[in-house]
Structure 1
Amino acid sequence: MADRFRITLGQLNPTVGDLAGNAALAARTWAEGKAANADLVALPEMFITGYNAQDLVMKRAFQLDVMTHIDQLAKDCADGPALAIGAPWAEGTELFNAYLILKNGRIANRTLKHNLPNETVFDEVRIFDSGPLGGPYAVGNTRVGSPICEDAWHPEVSETLAETGAEFLLVPNGSPYYRGKLDTRMNMMVARVVETGLPLIYLNMVGGQDDQVFDGASFALNPGGRLAMQMPAFDEKVHHVDLERGPEGWRVVQQPFASLPDAWEQDYRVMVQGLRDYMAKTGFRQVLLGLSGGIDSAIVATIAVDALGAENVRCVMLPSEYTSQSSLDDAEAVAKALGCRYDYVPIREGRQAITNTLAPLFEGRDADLTEENIQSRLRGLLLMAMSNKFGEMLLTTGNKSEVAVGYATIYGDMAGGYNPIKDLYKTRVFETCRWRNENHRDWMMGPAGAVIPDNIITKPPSAELREDQKDSDSLPDYPELDAILDILVDQDGSVADCVAAGFERDVAKKVEHLIYISEYKRFQSAPGPRLTKGAFWLDRRYPIVNRWRDPS
């Protein structure tokens, strides 16, 4: 038997639905593995379709197209190493999340996912059938076990593979990011290694898909849970891993470790990567946004420039009579620091025309929130007109605190195609701005240095829709609001939990009420990258019509 086994790992970025493109990427990776004398070339879970393809994989025409591409890929990769690739696989009336082993021009083995995740962003129970507990597959004289993603989060699949002769574990994943996920994954995989006594190679994909960003960070563990290999987070990379067989079995050959980013960098990279891939995979090249002089639009502009380059970002100031000189100066300073285009489009005349048009209907009624929202909706109209005219996707700029309590105008500042900070609370917006001013990485396309003026970070937040308006006129101060939202949204806690944490019951009840009555706005809001397990969209699914309130 061979004393050395080489696996070429493809930590890559597939595109959902691009079967031909994903197959071509697989074939190129296989060719690299062949040139490196690999025994096996491995790709992540559901690689041929991209992940998470949701209900698309239930479409029969799509399933047949997948099979056609897999069959051709097997033929194209016949003369060389085995190729392991994730795919949906139909057998009779059943549909499985499968890991296919292609050898000698055909499908030589199929591993079928047993544990189907049915929480947070995953809904696999309604899409796939559960495969049986199975054994390893052979590559040459070596037996490999592949628990597919969720299967490695439960002990029985890995234990069954070990008991039926697997000599090491190769775990293909489509595992999206949330804050703290790197540590959670590592702890889970160490547990599998300790239980089975087998080396384990964890292979994850990278790239953005709608609200999810896959963060890579693939790694290998030797028995005892000792880290033997660490790939970088977020970066596409083809990497060769060797195993050597000794008296005690296979062991992963030790390699230098890639360094992993801290929590602040991880979040920022997710927001940049999420926007970059959303643009690339939907076919857009350029964006625009309303730059108000406030902190939210400033960080969104910075993310956009870091993701796409300054030449592809248009910032638009749309001032009214309530826009302060400070905001005008700050907005222009941000655009200048970032090096992107800056347009000045006053809304005063347009607002007056709308006011005059509505005057006969509104006669005898005092001005109120209606007039404030007209400003926001006029800005949305003008930005969407520019989006249509120039072919630039409009970015929205509402932070998670505002999204949670509905502190935004539907069809106004909520208009747009993508929101890079949708899952970032206001208090973290402040700290993220400070982090970006102090840090620069080679994956950022924007300039280094303090691109967000300190005045934007330190001044009181305001929508500037009326004289002397501040966010705190309508909401608790953001540190208090965000702490309550963390309990009610991210921790799925109760009003009683808020009170126990030291907050006034009346304040917690008000925040809870605002969350529930804003559901219809979130239902119509733009997608944005998921940073937490409490992100709005697939993580948290509530009815729009809901009269229940926490009685505690």
Structure 2
Amino acid sequence: MTNRFRITLGQLNPTVGDLAGNKAKALAAWEEGRAAGADFVALPEMFITGYNTQDLVMKPAFARDAMAHLDALRAETADGPALGIGGPLLQGGKLFNAYHVLKSGRLVRQVLKHHLPNETVFDEVRLYEPGPISGPYDLGILRVGTPICEDAWHEDVSEALGESGAEILLVPNGSPYYRNKYETRLNQMVSRVVETGLPLIYLNMTGGQDDQVFDGGSFILNPGGALAMRLPAFDETIAHVDFEETPEGWRAMPGAIAQFPNEWEQDYRVMVESLRDYFRKTGFTKALLGLSGGIDSAIVATIAADALGPENVRCVMLPSKYTSQASLDDAGEVARRLGTRLDTVSIKDPVQAVNHTLEGVFEGTEPGLTEENIQSRLRGVILMAISNKHGEMLLTTGNKSEVAVGYATIYGDMAGGYNPIKDLYKMRVFETCRWRNANHRDWMKGPAGEVIPPRVIDKPPTAELREDQKDSDSLPPYDVLDVVLEELIDNEASVADIVAKGYDRAMVKKIEHLVYLAEYKRFQSAPGARLTMRSFWLDRRYPIVNRWRDPS
């Protein structure tokens, strides 16, 4: 009789710090596995605590509490399949990122993470001690080796597990999204399969945590790199996979291979899921934003409607004497198409009152940027007042191009609790609007169809803080600006590198100066969805005070 071994995979969404809630999720997945006749139920890395915990896990009381919840799980899962779950291990005064394997009421193994990532959003060298490379654990008829996340991006751990008798590899992950990361993961795991000749399960979590979104997309590879199963991207999923022992070794039986979305859908889903989970996990249910009639606030309103439902989004138009009728009409049309509430609160009188109040201390000066910023800051005051009064989180609407060069008013349009498009350059904002107009998915709570009027996408961007103002008055065209910014920020290119590609040196130097100058603004800006490996916050950490400029 052929040996078979069933594994239940929990591609689930934990919440950082919700130990009881995460334990309940783990137990529910285990019970579903038991009902399906599973021999082993596997959950992702650091599942009991949620991920990424940052310094919270270094608090001894928190680590001990997490371990106590794991002890309770061990007792509650005694009668049924084995359970593998990620969580901290505090031992001998040292803290480890561990994978706890529980069976029949006892601890079978605590696998310790060996390679600790210390780049982009990860600071695990700061948090944990590296564990030794350990051997596989025996689950009856099958020996499982578990490289934890980063361990599978290096050859040594998987090879050592294969050499010491592992028959399959289970890789539990807390792997957050960046654009096109799935292909990178897949290529790395194919390498491990080719090197070891073993089947491999790549198990990732889902859900948002601050700026990061864990995008699921778990998969199983058979020897040779053949894809045996793939779970949906972003969706919480419990799936069962059967492994069968063959003369050549254990093999995963073919399962469903979920369709994988393209990069435009992935990015948009990340912005929706990050906002949805940020609200759910912080306890907010309703959002508001200033709707100007421009493209940035239009896409943020759309993301909010898709994340929370149009009935939970309040848009506010805050016209000044410079606001055009076209902007008023466009804001109204966006709100109408989305089905959100739209309030209109004029700032004409407040601006006049503040300018009058400041007449004495401004005497002898010419009107200029200061007076423009008063308008933006008064809008921030009004929006925050509405937020406070109604318990609605204020969203900010600055794209990555504006955030990069500081084309935003601190304590004005930068006021707010979350920014879904913080890592989306302006040219990608245009394309994202077009993509959303042409596409609708069942995870979107907003209406289908052309929700952003084409005229909003096509008109020249303007802040409307003075007569006939255009963004191009202060900045290069966005198709040029974005290329230079991607080189400076995403690629860390030198000024000389960019000039060699045909760009004017004076323009590049000006943009470089603006990027460095705006660091203090970004330091105080709202968090936002991470879409790239060079998002503003944990990916790119620059000093606020910085006198260096590229001499090339």
TM-score of the superposition, structure 2-length normalised? 0.99
Which secondary structure does the structure 1 equivalent of 2:342 belong to?
strand
Aligned to 1:483: 483
2:463 aligned partner, one-letter code: A
1:417 aligned onto 2:404: no
Q: CA deviation at 1:2?
A: 6.6
Q: Residue 45 of structure 1 contacts residue 99 of structure 1 at CA under 8 Å; is this kept in 2?
A: yes
Provide the C-alpha distance between the structure 2 equivalents of 1:482 and 1:543, rounded to a whole number of angstroms.
23
2:508 aligned partner, one-letter code: A
Q: Residue 176 of structure 2 contacts residue 212 of structure 2 at CA under 8 Å; is this kept in 1?
A: yes
Provide the C-alpha distance between the structure 1 equivalents of 2:199 and 2:329, rounded to a whole number of angstroms.
58
Aligned to 1:505: 505
Provide the C-alpha distance between the structure 2 equivalents of 1:252 and 1:507, rounded to a whole number of angstroms.
56
2:281 aligned partner, one-letter code: K
Aligned residues: 552
Aligned to 1:326: 326
Provide the C-alpha distance between the structure 1 equivalents of 2:364 and 2:463, rounded to a whole number of angstroms.
27
- The superposition leaves residues 313-334 of structure 1 with CA deviations (integer Å, 9 ceiling, x where unpaired) of 0000000000011100000000
Provide the C-alpha distance between the structure 1 equivalents of 2:18 and 2:256, rounded to a whole number of angstroms.
34
- The superposition leaves residues 398-441 of structure 1 with CA deviations (integer Å, 9 ceiling, x where unpaired) of 00000000000000000000000000000000000000000000
Q: Residue 145 of structure 1 contacts residue 167 of structure 1 at CA under 8 Å; is this kept in 2?
A: yes
- The superposition leaves residues 463-504 of structure 1 with CA deviations (integer Å, 9 ceiling, x where unpaired) of 000000000000000000000000000111111111122111
1:109 aligned onto 2:88: no
Q: Residue 206 of structure 1 contacts residue 216 of structure 1 at CA under 8 Å; is this kept in 2?
A: yes
1:125-204 correspondence runs (5 A):
125-204=125-204
Q: Residue 8 of structure 2 contacts residue 240 of structure 2 at CA under 8 Å; is this kept in 1?
A: yes
Aligned to 1:282: 282
Provide the C-alpha distance between the structure 2 equivalents of 1:470 and 1:300, rounded to a whole number of angstroms.
21
Provide the C-alpha distance between the structure 1 equivalents of 2:496 and 2:534, rounded to a whole number of angstroms.
19
Provide the C-alpha distance between the structure 2 equivalents of 1:479 and 1:315, rounded to a whole number of angstroms.
29
Provide the C-alpha distance between the structure 2 equivalents of 1:79 and 1:318, rounded to a whole number of angstroms.
61
Q: Residue 2 of structure 1 contacts residue 141 of structure 1 at CA under 8 Å; is this kept in 2?
A: no
2:121 aligned partner, one-letter code: V
Where in structure 2 are there 5+ consecutive unaligned residues?
none
1:330 aligned partner, one-letter code: D
Aligned to 2:381: 381
1:242 aligned partner, one-letter code: D
Which secondary structure does the structure 2 equivalent of 1:208 belong to?
strand
Identity %: 72
Q: CA deviation at 1:138?
A: 1.0
Between stretches 358-367 and 181-190, larger displacement belongs to 358-367
1:256-271 correspondence runs (5 A):
256-271=256-271
- The superposition leaves residues 290-312 of structure 1 with CA deviations (integer Å, 9 ceiling, x where unpaired) of 00000000000000000000110
Which secondary structure does the structure 2 equivalent of 1:7 belong to?
strand
Provide the C-alpha distance between the structure 2 equivalents of 1:100 and 1:502, rounded to a whole number of angstroms.
55
Provide the C-alpha distance between the structure 2 equivalents of 1:544 and 1:257, rounded to a whole number of angstroms.
47
1:339 aligned onto 2:339: yes
The 4+ residue runs of structure 1 with deviation greater than 4 A are: none
Which secondary structure does the structure 2 equivalent of 1:85 belong to?
strand
Aligned to 2:216: 216
Provide the C-alpha distance between the structure 1 equivalents of 2:502 and 2:246, rounded to a whole number of angstroms.
59
Q: Residue 71 of structure 1 contacts residue 106 of structure 1 at CA under 8 Å; is this kept in 2?
A: no
Aligned to 1:240: 240
Where in structure 1 are there 5+ consecutive unaligned residues?
none
1:386 aligned partner, one-letter code: I
Aligned to 2:363: 363
Q: CA deviation at 1:256?
A: 2.6
Aligned to 1:249: 249
Provide the C-alpha distance between the structure 1 equivalents of 2:410 and 2:2, rounded to a whole number of angstroms.
64
Q: CA deviation at 1:64?
A: 1.0
Aligned to 1:69: 69
Which secondary structure does the structure 1 equivalent of 2:461 belong to?
coil
Provide the C-alpha distance between the structure 2 equivalents of 1:291 and 1:132, rounded to a whole number of angstroms.
54
Q: Residue 462 of structure 1 contacts residue 470 of structure 1 at CA under 8 Å; is this kept in 2?
A: yes
Which secondary structure does the structure 1 equivalent of 2:361 belong to?
helix
1:24 aligned onto 2:14: no
Q: Residue 231 of structure 2 contacts residue 256 of structure 2 at CA under 8 Å; is this kept in 1?
A: no
1:464 aligned onto 2:468: no
Provide the C-alpha distance between the structure 1 equivalents of 2:530 and 2:404, rounded to a whole number of angstroms.
14
Provide the C-alpha distance between the structure 2 equivalents of 1:333 and 1:282, rounded to a whole number of angstroms.
31
Which secondary structure does the structure 2 equivalent of 1:361 belong to?
coil
Provide the C-alpha distance between the structure 2 equivalents of 1:22 and 1:516, rounded to a whole number of angstroms.
41
Between stretches 138-147 and 419-428, larger displacement belongs to 138-147
Aligned to 2:544: 544
Provide the C-alpha distance between the structure 2 equivalents of 1:404 and 1:502, rounded to a whole number of angstroms.
22
Aligned to 2:118: 118
Q: Residue 299 of structure 2 contacts residue 452 of structure 2 at CA under 8 Å; is this kept in 1?
A: yes
Provide the C-alpha distance between the structure 2 equivalents of 1:547 and 1:131, rounded to a whole number of angstroms.
41
